[in-house]
Amino acid sequence: MIELIPAIDLIDGKCVRLTKGDYATRKIYNEDPVAVAREFESYGFKRLHIVDLDGARSKHIVNYRVLERIAASAPGLTIDFGGGIKSGEDLRIAFENGAALVTVGSVAATQPELFLEWLQKYGAARLILGADVKNGLISINGWKEESREELLPFLSRYLKEGMRHVLCTDISKDGMLQGPATPLYQEIMAAFPDCKLIASGGVSGMPDIIALDEAGIPAVVFGKAIYEGKISLKELSAWAENKQ
């Protein structure tokens, strides 16, 4: 069964969502992300995806105190954290403040030797390879720049080195509530069947979750669909329970 991972995106310590990564489209959904995380936990979710949007823009971790509070207040959630992880110090701060896994994208695209050092130091169980895709190319630095890296060769390089967890976001779908890039995720799984792929972007309702599950995608991150009332936590929880 597909793993369900609700998301909290942070700006100024508040729970927000963007559309296609555009900061001008920010919408505040809750000023208390700790309360949001505790609600996810109360419905039986085991994972939480946190994105430090201030960090992604600033190129260093920013909202680590919020991470720390969420980890302390919702101990039943395994947290993966991303956004602004550009140095070994950023990585250390994220782990020390409660992240069980950390998503790294830009460094993997621009400083492969450094990323491989982190992989060796922390192991594949604690890192997630962030693959944010626009026009077939990996985007970096909070989606503000396109690299020259094509998606499948980028993934192949690191999966060969032992990486397993991959978070792939189709930027054109993100926050649009128009359905995920299921064919793209199927392409990835066909090329790398052992990849622990996390689909991200575009989930608009339960049919999208069910379709990804039926397509054999291992995990999915979703946020805006919850905050906009397109999916209820009760509905998601009941579906997951029935699947087990």
Whether 213 is catalytic: no
Which residue's entry shows tokens 């602004």?
84
| pLDDT above 70 (res 159) | yes
Span 33-58, average pLDDT = 97
For residue 211, the domain's CATH number is 3.20.20.70
Q: State the pTM of this model.
A: 0.95
Q: For residue 90, indicate whether it is catalytic.
A: no
* pLDDT for the residue numbered 143: 63
Answer yes or no: is pLDDT of 66 > 80: yes
Cα 175 to Cα 225: distance, rounded to the nearest angstrom: 8
220-231 residue pLDDT tens: 999 999 999 999
Q: How far apart are CA 87 and CA 110, in angstroms?
A: 12
pLDDT in tens, 173-184: 877 788 999 999
pLDDT tens figures, 96-150: 999 999 999 989 999 999 999 999 999 999 999 999 998 888 887 656 667 778 9
Give residue 177's pLDDT. Answer: 80
Domain count across the chain = 1
Segments forming the whole domain that contains residue 216: 3-243
Q: What is the pLDDT of residue 176?
A: 73
How far, in Å, CA of 39 to CA of 36, rounded?
5
Whole-Å CA distances, 177 to 33, 91, 216, 238: 22, 31, 21, 22
Q: How does residue 158 score in pLDDT terms, banded at 50, 70 and 90? A: very high
Q: Which of 56-65, 80-89, 132-141, 157-166 is least confident?
A: 132-141
- What percentage of the chain carries pLDDT values higher than 70? 98
Give me the catalytic one of 132, 170, 174, 213.
Answer: 132
The pLDDT, as a whole number, for residue 198 is 98
pLDDT at 172: 82
Mean pLDDT of the chain: 94
Using the predicted structure, report yes or no on whether residue 93 has a pLDDT greater than 80. Answer: yes
User: DSSP strand E in the chain: where?
Assistant: 3-11, 14-19, 22-30, 47-52, 78-82, 101-104, 127-134, 137-140, 145-150, 165-170, 196-200, 219-222
| Higher pLDDT among residues 136 and 14, named by residue | 14
| DSSP code of residue 108 | H
- E strand or H helix that includes residue 69: helix 64-73
Q: Could you tell me which of 158, 164, 64, 53 has the C-alpha nearest to residue 114?
A: 158
What's the pLDDT score for residue 243?
84
Q: What is the pLDDT of residue 144?
A: 67
Out of 9, 52, 80, 174, the active site residue is 9
pLDDT of residue 34: 98
